[in-house]
Structures are given as C-alpha cells and as structure tokens.
A = this chain, B = another copy of it.
Amino acid sequence: MRQTILIAALLAGPAAAYEPLVEKQEFTLTGFQTRGGEVIPEMRLGYETYGTLNGARDNAILIPHFFSGSSHAAGKYSPDDAAPGYWDAIIGSGRPIDTDRYFVVSVDSPVNLGAKDPNVITTGPATINPAMGKPWGMDFPILTIGDFVDTQKGLMDQLGIEKWHAVMGASMGGLQSYEWAARYPDRLDRVIPVIASGWADADLIAWLDIWAAPIRLDPNWNGGDYYGGAAPDAGLAQALKILTLHANSPEWSNGTFGRAWAEAGADPGQGWENDYNIVNVLNGAGASRASVSDANHFLYLVRANQMFVAGQPEGSLYQGLLDIDVPVMLIHTDEDLVFPGDAVRETGAIIRSDGTPVEIVELQGTRGHLDGVVNIAQAGERIRAFLDAE
C-alpha cells in the first residue's frame, strides 16, 4: 500500500516533502475555560502530525496557523491532491523542519474560518450549542489568541508533551507563537514568529474591521442568525477579497493583472456589468473560498486578532514581550502591509532589550505579507540551524 502511494506520487510529479499521506486527527477538551471567563462545554478541534514523537517526548514542534489557514501545514491527504500543506517547502524528511528528527504538530484553531471545509475540525459559532440544540451564532464566547493557545496546551497535555522544542507560525500563527513564549515560558525551548508583531496596532485594528464590514452589511447575515437559511456568502466573499489584496503587494497585483479587462471587448466604460480582470479574479477567489467558510467565524477571528497583545498584560503593550526569555527568530518582509517591517523590528527590539537573543530574518519577494507563506523556503537553512542548535 505504502509503495502504491509512493509510485502514484511519483507519477503525479515531484513528491511532497512529507511523503506519508496525512490524516486529520481530532481531540476534544471538555469544559474549556476561556480567558474571558466563559465555559465552552465541548471544544472539538482537528490536528495533523508529521514525523514521530520520540521516547523522551522532547522533539515536538507546534505550528499554529494563520487567519485563513488550517492545520494542513505539510503533506497531502491523497496522492491526487493538487498541492500539499502550506509550509510543505520547509517541513518533511530532510527539510529544515526535518520530520526524520522532529515530531510536528499542527492544530486547527477554534472559530476556524473553514467551518464547512471537510478537512477542518473546529468549534465556533457554526457549531451546535448543546444547551440550545442549535448553532451558537454570536452567542459563542468571544475568544482571544490566548484561548487558541490554551486549546493547543490542552492537546499538548493529552499527547504527554511537557515542552515544545519550538513553536513556529505565520501571521495569526505568529501571534500565537508570541503568546506561547510570553505566557508559558516553561513549556517551550524557542519560538519563531513569522510575519507578525507583538501586538495589533490601531492601523491593523481598523483594517480588520474593514475586512469584516461587508459581512455585517449583507442582509443575509441577520445579526449572525442565518444557520438553516441563506448564508451571507456575498458579504463573506467581499471580506475574503479585501483580505487577499491586503495580504499581497502592489508589485504582485500590477505585475499579475495590469489593466486588463475581465473579458476581451467588454469595456468597463461601456457597462456596469463589465469589469477589470483583477476585480473579476479576486471576486471569483472570494466566492470560491466563501463556499467552505463561515461568516460568523470570520468575525470571531477578526476580534481575536484585534484584541491581541502578547501575553495579554494589563495596561502594557510591552510586558508580555519582556516576559519572553527563550531564543527568538523573527522572520518577516518589509513589503508587508498587514504587519509592517517597523512593527516587527520594534517587537524584536523590545524582546532583546533585557538580553533575550533575537535573530531577524528578512524575506525577499513580491507577495507582501504572503511571502511569509509562499517564500518561507528562503529562510530554510536559518530555521534549520535555529532548531538544531544545542
């Protein structure tokens, strides 16, 4: 069977780095306490693992995911999959995060965007509230990035892992990485926040609200009470469109699309039904993604990101970062519109100010924020050395 799969993978082209097929697993936390003081009776989440946990249980690396992502960080579910997980370029046998050496754990967040995606297992407003026998909707407790981390800590305990060898994540996964290091300094050995800074600043808070606005305007949203009826997919598609453009760069949009019309001969000056190619493509991508996503989950993710301050200290943006004492590698790009270079450098300077070692790796590319996902391989050997250091 294993051989058949390998042959099929070879026939399909270059094998994914993590060669065994990946299976989604799930875990459940009962009576999950949120940091806001509420209780979620049953928190059911998905996760994936790559590699093998060693006898000492000390070779585990945690990968929390980004806003629109899932636990599918590497490998393929089936030999026919068009693409492997998002960080497959650096996770696998012989790769920088070497699955011959490390046991990689990637976890679906609560309120995961892909609530209707068969490869995502999550708990959020689209989940049945056991007390009511219908979906929670906007009655689901507001969660923080700290709550996401606490679900991962629950899995960690179930797996019998005392300390992560490292925590590494991109964007919202980077926020979770900071949170781990600030809040649970004894439960990890090092941390690699990628394309993320130590708090959500006013500019990000406002842009996240702008991402969310189309959902609230869609009449189908209905205050979040749409389960069983028509979903606010038009608003959600527009929200996803903004996210897509914001996470890219002008160099990408101009270089890819230029001023081309969506259809030859259909001049946008001659009819409102005519449009530009870039608008058409972004609309299509937003609509496609909306079909496996949930609009309320999007709103919960927005709020969690807006509320983020590493370690969630009272009244200080910095204390949580000063509480970080494990070695830090920050990976980012200066073309990032979501977490600009200045904010990442300032974060690094604060962590370093009390002697904590901080390495900063700058990526080059044309994808803006997304370079942290699609061009992560540039940092591969730096990551390998950082992980393998004694």
Binding site for B on A (CB under 8 A): 36, 138, 142, 144, 199-203, 205-207, 209-210, 213-214, 217-219, 234-235, 238, 241-242, 245, 250, 253-254, 256-259, 268-272, 275-276, 278-279, 282, 303, 306-307, 309, 317, 340
* CB atoms of A317 and B259 under 8 A apart: yes
The verdict on A213 contacting B201 (CB below 8 Å), with A259-B317, A279-B206 known, is no
Q: Which residues of B contact A269 (CB under 8 A)?
A: 36, 142, 144, 303, 307
* CB atoms of B142 and A253 under 8 A apart: no
The verdict on A210 contacting B268 (CB below 8 Å), with A217-B234, A250-B203, A278-B202 known, is no
> A205's contact among B213, B270, B279, by CB below 8 Å, is which?
B279
Assembly CA distance A91 to B6 (angstroms): 74
The verdict on A245 contacting B210 (CB below 8 Å), with A259-B317, A307-B268 known, is yes
Q: Which residues of B contact A242 (CB under 8 A)?
A: 210, 213
Residue with the highest number of chain B CB atoms closer than 10 Å, among A142, A144, A282, A309: A142
* Residue in chain B with minimal CB distance to A224: B272
* CB atoms of A205 and B238 under 8 A apart: no
In the assembled complex, the CB of A174 is this many whole angstroms from the nearest CB of chain B, namely: 18
The verdict on A206 contacting B278 (CB below 8 Å), with A213-B241, A214-B217, A259-B317 known, is yes
* CB atoms of B217 and A36 under 8 A apart: no
The verdict on A205 contacting B282 (CB below 8 Å), with A210-B241, A217-B217, A217-B238 known, is no
* CB atoms of A207 and B259 under 8 A apart: no
> A142's contact among B210, B213, B272, B275, by CB below 8 Å, is which?
B272
* CB atoms of A270 and B206 under 8 A apart: no
Additional A-B contacts beyond A206-B253, A268-B306 (9; CB < 8 A): A36-B269, A138-B272, A201-B258, A202-B256, A210-B242, A214-B217, A217-B235, A268-B303, A276-B306
> A202's contact among B144, B234, B254, by CB below 8 Å, is which?
B254
In the assembled complex, the CB of A132 is this many whole angstroms from the nearest CB of chain B, namely: 18
* CB atoms of B253 and A203 under 8 A apart: yes
* Residue in chain B with minimal CB distance to A252: B203
In the assembled complex, the CB of A348 is this many whole angstroms from the nearest CB of chain B, namely: 17
* CB atoms of B268 and A203 under 8 A apart: no
The verdict on A270 contacting B142 (CB below 8 Å), with A205-B278, A214-B217 known, is yes
Assembly CA distance A276 to B202 (angstroms): 8
In the assembled complex, the CB of A328 is this many whole angstroms from the nearest CB of chain B, namely: 22
Q: Which residues of B contact A270 (CB under 8 A)?
A: 36, 142
Q: Which residues of B contact A201 (CB under 8 A)?
A: 250, 253-254, 258-259
Residue with the highest number of chain B CB atoms closer than 10 Å, among A217, A219, A235: A217
> 11 pairs across A/B with beta carbons < 8 Å?
A201-B253, A202-B253, A202-B259, A205-B276, A206-B257, A209-B276, A210-B238, A213-B241, A259-B309, A268-B307, A272-B303
In the assembled complex, the CB of A25 is this many whole angstroms from the nearest CB of chain B, namely: 30
* CB atoms of A209 and B279 under 8 A apart: yes
Assembly CA distance A271 to B282 (angstroms): 32
Q: Which residues of B contact A317 (CB under 8 A)?
A: 259
* CB atoms of A245 and B206 under 8 A apart: yes
Q: Which residues of B contact A272 (CB under 8 A)?
A: 138, 142, 303
Closest 7 CB pairs of A and B: A203-B250, A202-B257, A217-B217, A203-B253, A219-B219, A202-B278, A213-B238
Q: Which residues of B contact A144 (CB under 8 A)?
A: 269
Q: Which residues of B contact A138 (CB under 8 A)?
A: 272
